[in-house]
Amino acid sequence: MSINKILNNIDEVLLMGPGPSSIHPSVYEAMSQSTLGHMDPYFIKIMDETKAYLQSILQTENHLTLPISGTGSAGMETCFVNLIEPDDPVLILINGVFGKRMEDLAGRLGASVDVLEFEWGTPVDVDRAQEQLKQREYKILAVVHAETSTGVRNPVPEIAELVRDKDTLYLVDTVTSLGGIEIATDTWGVDALYSGSQKCLSCPPGVAPATFSDKAGESIANRKNKVPNWYLDMNMLTSYWEGQSRVYHHTAPINMLYALNQALYLIMEEGLENVFHRHLENHKLLVTGLERMGIRMLVEPECRLPMLNSIHLPEGVDDAEGRRRLRQEFKIEIGAGLGPLAGKIWRIGLMGHTARPENVERILAALEEILP
């Protein structure tokens, strides 16, 4: 059976989990346009425009700004594989699943990894990080901005101040935060950053925005050893994404980049501040409705993410059965807990195109039906 026949038999699902998010129709339309060659002059114009959109949304002038061909995990690997050489000292601040992934990847690359771990559902403690930074000179300090496994916003600007006058490179995961809350890359002093297309950008998964400061670029250029991952080597990717004479590196996902370009255009058209305000207001609407039903939030108000809301599973509710009913009866997808929070929380996403009052009202009404 063809994929079209299969999908035509599936009702549209409202994506309110930790990603992907719902997609604007114009993004699907862009994705369906005729494929150009990856060296076509018109496609290169699209590449340049996409890069400019990313620089605006990331609030950066970094010339090393581009979408990596792959999901957010490829963005993570791009940052680590280009910056780490064997035995480099790396400090990772961990309070959820995606900080643990950073630790795993840095270890695989042969780094000398130290970690500071914090209780899941709470933010990174800046004072503890400061004390650890006094113990050793680190090449890289890494943290997740928006921890998707818990819904915590980490104090990325405050952590940045700890290494502003050091040689340490500051690396930040913004997979869930980009397009939903402010990311002031240059003002904060972030040296390497990666994200994903499928969260608050409301684009299908498959490309990973990334940016590197001049300081990070110099570190890459002055490596003692070649970047061990050929596909993600920024030295070669830069030659494809920059300058008048583009050098072929790999066949870019042409139609995915059409989609990303349109998704970024929609954010620019709405205006960054308006987009951030929309996410926050719908978050408040959701929290008010949940609290009225007696449902408790996992994260304290001052460090909650507006786009990822973790709630304590109400007493007497079966985790899998509740999510199954939402999906089957109400055509709504939400996320389960991960790691130590598995079976204890649900994660409700309000990301990008999903962050709208009618969607908040729809899930609150569905929860009223399935909760005892």
**Confidence category of residue 48, pLDDT binned at 50, 70, 90:** very high
DSSP states of 257-322:
HHHHHHHHHHHHHH-HHHHHHHHHHHHHHHHHHHHHTTPPBSS-GGGB-SSEEEEEPPTT--HHHH
Q: Give the mean pLDDT of 131-139.
A: 98
Where do we find the tokens 């608050």?
Answer: 200
Q: What are phi and psi of 90, to 5 degrees?
A: -130, 135
pLDDT of amino acid 3? 66
The pLDDT tens digits of the residues spanning 74-130 come to 999 999 999 999 999 999 999 999 999 999 999 999 999 999 999 999 999 999 999
The pLDDT tens digits of the residues spanning 140-185 come to 999 999 999 999 999 999 999 999 999 999 999 999 999 999 999 9
The pLDDT tens digits of the residues spanning 293-308 come to 999 999 999 999 999 9
249/269 Cα distance (integer angstroms):
32
- Residue 121 Rama label (left phi>0; alpha psi -120 to 50; beta): left
pLDDT of amino acid 220? 98
Q: Does domain 26-268 have CATH number 3.40.640.10?
A: yes
**What CATH number labels 3-21+272-370?**
3.90.1150.10
Closest CA to 259 of 198, 173, 210, 307: 198
Same fold, 3-21+272-370 and 26-268: no
Report CA 10 to chain centroid distance, whole Å.
28
* Contact between residue 96 and residue 146 where contact means Cβ atoms under 8 Å apart: no
pLDDT of amino acid 28? 98
* Contact between residue 106 and residue 112 where contact means Cβ atoms under 8 Å apart: no
The pLDDT tens digits of the residues spanning 343-356 come to 999 999 999 999 99
Q: Give the mean pLDDT of 230-241.
A: 96
Which long-range contacts link 360-365 to residues 24+ away (Cβ below 8 Å)? 360/282, 360/285, 360/286, 360/289, 362/14, 362/330, 362/332, 363/14, 363/16, 363/286, 363/326, 363/330, 363/332, 363/334, 364/286, 364/289, 364/290, 364/293
Domain ranges of the chain: 3-21+272-370, 26-268
Q: In this model, does residue 9 exceed pLDDT 80?
A: no
pLDDT of amino acid 5? 66
pLDDT of amino acid 315? 87
